[in-house]
Structure 1
Amino acid sequence: MASPQFPAEVPREIMEIERAITRISHLLTRSRRHDRTVAAAGVPVDRAAVPMLRLLAEQGEPMRPSEMAARLAVEAPHVTRQVQRLERAGYVERVPDPDDGRAQRVRLCDSGRDAVECIRAVGRRWMDEALAGWSPDERRLLAGLVHRMVDDFVAHADSLSDQCGLPADPHYERQP
């Protein structure tokens, strides 16, 4: 297997960006943070369920479990177990797939939509509190730079896919 080519010197600012992204990723995915968030939101769901609820809310229409698994980059049995739990809790329901009578899609119920909004509201409130010392201009600048960074990461990943002869990931779109 050929080893990838890495530059001898990595610019210091790239190392600092990578370090900051790693830190924020860790902070956002810790189980204690999840536990505090769902407790404050009043939504008793486990950590693995939140991305599914968010995905269904963002999609705005029922999705096949296989599509959910692909979008979340998880195995299909994982989605099946979570859908069963969310269905028992009344957050989602299965509906017939209009394109294939043998298949089913997963739809967010009103209580699921409310749960996602409560979780988002808690996260946004905590972010607002954490950035309380930032001016509105600084917040706008940060938002613009983060969107630009994600768009550039997506474009770069697409170009790498092209170089390797792989299809681009259709689940990440650049911001308008």
Structure 2
Amino acid sequence: MSSVPSLLRDLLPRLNELSGTLRRGKLFERAVEATGLPLERPAMSVLGILHLEDAPLRVGEIANRMNVVGPHVTRQVQGLESRGLVRRVADPDDQRARLIELTPEGKAATERYVGVIEGWFSDALSGWTAEDRQALDRLLTRLVDDLTARLSDLD
């Protein structure tokens, strides 16, 4: 265990550097610009979650994935609905409930957004071997899962 504090002294500054690099690179702003729509981060988060799931979701599930409360997502969904990017559909398992799904316009905008981000990361990782990319994915997944588990234990 004595190596963990040393690891954190090395890891945390690197994570801060990564965050700073993403902010300085204005990745979010550039990706949103590619959508052709002036959207804020929370709205893009809703679209991104629906895009990744590739299926309609309840507001509560979207909120859970965003780590926010339901009313926050409801406001975002209302704004996205008014722009024609999402719509409410009946839940086949519970006709009283509604699910949120991307409209074709919402799907196209989200694909443009994701395309910018994927292109940026693909360029950055183009010199990496497949094994290195797989190791990064495996280790980041493990780090997020382990930190999430530890932090949920504190709740």
Report the TM range for the smaller structure's normalisation.
Answer: 0.7 to 0.9
Compared CA separation, residues 37 and 158, structure 1 to 2 (3 A): closer
* Partners of 2:59 and 2:74 within 8 A in 1: yes
Distance in 2 (CA, whole Å) between partners of 1:124 and 1:79 is 25
- How do 1:4-153 and structure 2 match up within 5 A? 10-11=5-6, 13-28=7-22, 32-131=26-125, 135-137=127-129, 140-153=130-143
Runs (4+) of structure 1 exceeding 6 A deviation are none
* 3-state secondary structure, aligned to 2:41: coil
Q: 1:25-63: per-residue Cα shift (whole Å, max 9, x none)?
A: 344367954222211342321111111111101111111
- The superposition leaves residues 80-103 of structure 1 with CA deviations (integer Å, 9 ceiling, x where unpaired) of 010001111111000112222221
Question: Cα RMSD over matched residues?
Answer: 3.0
Structure 2 gap segments, 5+ residues each: none
* Alpha-carbon spacing, 1:97–1:125, altered in 2? closer, same or farther (3 Å): same
Q: Which has the larger radius of gyration?
A: 1
Q: Whose helix fraction is larger, Structure 1's or Structure 2's?
A: 2
Q: Among the aligned pairs, what percent are the same residue?
A: 31
Question: Aligned residues, how many?
Answer: 155
Consecutive unaligned residues in structure 1, runs of 5 or more = 1-5, 167-176
